[in-house]
Structure 1
Amino acid sequence: MNRVYVCSCFAVTEKQVKEHAEAGACTPRQIASACKAGTDCGSCVRRIQAILGRGNCPRRELVDQGMPALAAELASVEDLAEDLSEAA
């Protein structure tokens, strides 16, 4: 089995990042919350961004449809929910 590691610090593979993206993670921060990738040395964040850039994201779809304000509001709500879950 050939594994392509995205995050060496936490041994997170490209496949794992894609699985988290398919489950709804749209940002490197959301990937970090799911599997810690990008939270230590940070050298993998650009690679994570590149992987996420190829997938579907509700916010990206809203921007493409000409609704950037709604996309920004959705991002704020997602960030707030993430902050609350981290605080709990």
Structure 2
Amino acid sequence: MFVCSCFGVTEEQVKKHAEAGACTPRQIASACKAGTDCGGCVRRIQALLGRGACPRREMVDRGGSALAELPDAA
């Protein structure tokens, strides 16, 4: 299913980018341009990330620190 029709980005692609570490809509946009044209898909991307597409987000939800895993988080 397409998440971003402007750039032809699928839900599966967003999930793969999230698994690779993109945990915010801005990081997804940097990885595949989704959300950078009309912006209509940003809420859908947020929903995907909020439902466990991002392993780091799951860790934060369980009480861990995602920043500890990010290189140069400062």
* TM-score under structure 2 length normalisation: 0.77
Any gaps of 5 or more consecutive residues in structure 1?
81-88
Any gaps of 5 or more consecutive residues in structure 2?
none
Q: Which has the larger radius of gyration?
A: 1
- Please list every run of at least 4 consecutive aligned residues from structure 1 whose deviation after the TM superposition is greater than 3 angstroms: none
Q: Which has the higher contact order (CA 8 A, sep 6+)?
A: 2
State the identity %: 69
- Retained in 1: the 8 A contact 2:19–2:55? no
User: Given residue 54 of structure 1, which amino acid in structure 2 is its aligned partner?
Assistant: R
Partner of 2:7: 10
Partner of 2:59: 61
How many correspondences in the alignment? 70
Higher relative helix content: 1
Q: d(CA) in 1 for partners of 2:5 and 2:57?
A: 29
